Structure 1
Amino acid sequence: MTSASEPRDLRSELAALTTEAFRPDLAGIDRLPTLEIARLMNGEDTAVPAAVAEQLPRIATAIDAVAECMRRGGRLIYAGAGTAGRLGVLDASECPPTFNTDPDRVVGLIAGGPDAMVTSVEGAEDSRELAQRDLDALKLTPDDTVVGISASGRTPYAIGAVEHARAHGALTIGLACNKDSALAAAADHGIEVVTGPELITGSTRLKAGTAQKLVLNMLSTITMIRLGKTYGNLMVDVRASNDKLRARSRRIVALATGATDDEIEKALTETGGEVKNAILVLLAGVDGPTAARLLEESGGHLRAALAATAG
């Protein structure tokens, strides 16, 4: 049974968070011209990259740990509620087309399940047990990484996910937007990007959400770079699932090799449309099956495969 003091205690707890702080200077924002509100909002957003920059050493250390786990076959799993959960699901869903990863290698969990992507699921974010059940369904291993995401740093679903994962020996990261958060304290790697009070009081889909998106971009993208999913700054593991991506694949091969259109088409045909393999065929002068073998032996790293042919 809920005690009469609990709502008051929760209000006090929220009032102590910078992400929930009230800005008296913005109390009349609804009376301002639209352009002035847009300028204010844009000005607030410019502070976000600087807040992320302060956490770059922690972010980089976490990424190296994630990459090491994924080299051993582990997964990257995001867990959050509301906006934080949606951002995790978004980042996970973009990895297969961008880096040709299996859909189960980067996973996004949101409190309340898929329905919570578009509607609010009552009470889901308050359940640590729900996070535990969601992770148990994935059959966690010590090679997995679980990233709890919460602007406040106090969301029970995110904290429960990190605590449960850590108890099972998995690597854990806590991403929050307040200092001294329970989420960061619960994780192996705590990342606290302090973005301050929001333009609209407590609307953490704004600066806090932007900061979370920037950090998740780094976690997934740089991890994939470390895993050899790029060649320089080219997406050589892109999955060509539509006309735009097929055109991008040809362009990537052209940028990497300088080959003619006819040579590129022949190489892509020989390698079943695999960009990385086609580049190796063109740069190393090997056939498709040899390119596939060299890449498998090099763990998917194109530079290593090229070095092997040079040797």
Structure 2
Amino acid sequence: GRLAFLLAAPFIAGQLDFCINNLNVFTPAVVGFNLANMARNEPIPSWHLTFRQVIERMEELQKRKKAFIINPVVGPEAISGSSRLKGGSTTKIILETIFLGAHEAVSAYKRITAEMYEQVHKITYSQSEMIASLVQQAGDSLRKEGHVYYVGWSTLGIMGIIDASECIPTFGADAKDICGFINQGYNEMKNKDGDLTALGPEFCISHMDFVNTILPSVTELDTVIFLFTQDDGLCEIETLANRTKQRTSNLHAISHDLLGSEDLVIFMTCSVPFKLSKWVKVYNNDTGYVVRVMQELSTKWILNAVSTGGHILKGKIFRNYMMDLKVTNSKLFKRAVNILQMITGCLPTVCIRALLQAVYDTEDVTDDMTAAEVTKHTTLAPTRSRVVPTALVILTRNCSLSEAKSLLDAYSLIRDAVEACLTVCEGADNTMHHSN
């Protein structure tokens, strides 16, 4: 049979249900970070089950070891709701631990995986100062309307593409703000659907695409970060680095040293090069798979810090809330309402009305709008910019939609605009208090 792992989210409940109904083929396993009874019980459009009902079936099957619910407690995220950080890393660790354990079950060689990941943490954060420099550089580029480009090799290139793709829904980023590229494009990705470049420029991910379509327009405002190991074809890396250096001095490299080599021309061309060179000393007798797993997680952590820190410096985060998140599904719609309620103290109905003003780009929210399914709101919301910040300004300033947009336009950083609104609001409250 096959072991089916499905990340816990409503839109894949149907796949879970399919696995449950075909236990002769699949052993379903759910990975998540909430208690099972916290699964959402809201209706799923065009389906007869809720996600919680599916999980309840999983719980019954788990008693007979026919299914598995893997939901460790990892604590709150550094950025509220940004599950790509702890949640994403823990998911990767869980899957690697299980598959590594399955692989080793047929061999005599055993390994304590916890020690392996502790080493990844130790080695990665021994470079904290270098990581901080990359975060600062990425933030400088994003604040100045520049871009951040990850140019990676092999699976490290995949780490870059994943990190870049997460910035769009998390921070409301433009698809061009942070982009990832991988050598040989989809041939290296080995994705099921093959070459996807026909879908649009956002799907052009090869180094050739970077050279032909991106590099000619790269400026000093942009940051380029190379991701590689020292067995990834250093001549090719050096050639591409030299070409990139002609366009910007903001070229950086994250290199993982497998061989203990100390000399590499690429480092002399980079602004902030740093090398994680202790992998070979951790497990000298490992196959390349284990070391590669460690390098991937290390790279993920560094890039998560770069993109998250960069967007914080750009003003996309306020009081640890993702102020400019894309409202693309019911979960994010509820999160947007909760953010508005937490910051303003307004009733949920009032917050929803302001949010719908921003979503529908209207001063007057009709009864039909408020009565519509959430899916209608979330279909339109991604086409609008600054939805949550606009709603927040409407609530804090008690102003019209057009006035809220004008106020946001007056500030280069969303966070500054929000702070200004709250300062005015708090000042008005204090004045009223003293007058009473």
TM over 0.5, shorter chain: yes
1:173 to 214, 233, 252: 252
Question: Which residue is 2:395 aligned to?
Answer: 282
2:270 to 158, 175, 187: 187
* TM-score (ref. length: structure 1): 0.78
Q: What does the per-residue CA deviation read over 1:143-199, in whole Å, with 9 as the maximum and x for residues that have no partner? A: 211110013375445444433221112511101123746344331111223451365
Question: Which residue is 2:335 aligned to?
Answer: 248
Question: Which residue is 1:145 aligned to?
Answer: 223
* Cα contact 1:231–1:303 (8 A) shared by 2: no
Distance (Å, rounded) in 1 between the aligned partners of 2:172 and 2:319: 17
Question: Which residue is 1:46 aligned to?
Answer: 118
Please identify, of 289-298 and 77-86, the stretch whose mean Cα deviation from structure 2 is larger.
Answer: 289-298
Please identify, of 90-99 and 151-160, the stretch whose mean Cα deviation from structure 2 is larger.
Answer: 151-160
Question: Which residue is 1:93 aligned to?
Answer: 165
* Cα contact 2:184–2:207 (8 A) shared by 1: no
Question: Which residue is 2:139 aligned to?
Answer: 67
Gaps of 5+ in 1: 1-27, 122-129
Tell me the amino acid that sits aligned with residue 286 of structure 1.
Answer: C
Which structure is richer in relative contact order (CA contacts within 8 A, separation 6 or more)? 1
Q: What does the per-residue CA deviation read over 1:248-297, in whole Å, with 9 as the maximum and x for residues that have no partner? A: 22222222222211111111012225112212222233332222222222
* Cα contact 1:142–1:171 (8 A) shared by 2: yes
Distance (Å, rounded) in 1 between the aligned partners of 2:274 and 2:151: 15
Please identify, of 297-306 and 100-109, the stretch whose mean Cα deviation from structure 2 is larger.
Answer: 297-306
* Cα contact 1:48–1:195 (8 A) shared by 2: no
SS of equivalent to 2:354: helix
Decide whether aligned partners of structure 1 residues 151 and 255 sit closer, same or farther in structure 2, where only a CA change above 3 A counts.
Answer: farther
Matches within 5 A, 1:119-158: 131=207, 134-138=210-214, 139-152=217-230, 155-156=233-234, 157-158=236-237
SS of equivalent to 2:130: helix
Distance (Å, rounded) in 1 between the aligned partners of 2:408 and 2:231: 41
Decide whether aligned partners of structure 1 residues 310 and 248 sit closer, same or farther in structure 2, where only a CA change above 3 A counts.
Answer: closer
2:287 to 180, 184, 201: 201
Please say if 1:117 is aligned against 2:189: yes
Distance (Å, rounded) in 2 between the aligned partners of 1:234 and 1:308: 16
Distance (Å, rounded) in 2 between the aligned partners of 1:299 and 1:86: 32
Distance (Å, rounded) in 2 between the aligned partners of 1:30 and 1:160: 43
Question: Which residue is 1:84 aligned to?
Answer: 156
1:30 is displaced (CA, Å) by 6.1
Distance (Å, rounded) in 1 between the aligned partners of 2:190 and 2:311: 29
CA RMSD of aligned residues (A): 2.8
Q: What does the per-residue CA deviation read over 1:87-146, in whole Å, with 9 as the maximum and x for residues that have no partner? A: 111111111111111111111111111332126x9xxxxxxxx84663331132222111
* TM-score (ref. length: structure 2): 0.57
Question: Which residue is 1:164 aligned to?
Answer: 243
SS of equivalent to 1:107: strand
1:228 is displaced (CA, Å) by 0.7
* Cα contact 2:149–2:180 (8 A) shared by 1: yes
* Cα contact 2:256–2:295 (8 A) shared by 1: yes
Distance (Å, rounded) in 2 between the aligned partners of 1:176 and 1:153: 10
Q: Which portions of structure 1, spanning 4 or more consecutive aligned residues, are displaced by more than 6 angstroms?
A: none
Distance (Å, rounded) in 1 between the aligned partners of 2:422 and 2:304: 33
* Cα contact 1:162–1:174 (8 A) shared by 2: no
Question: Which residue is 1:236 aligned to?
Answer: 323
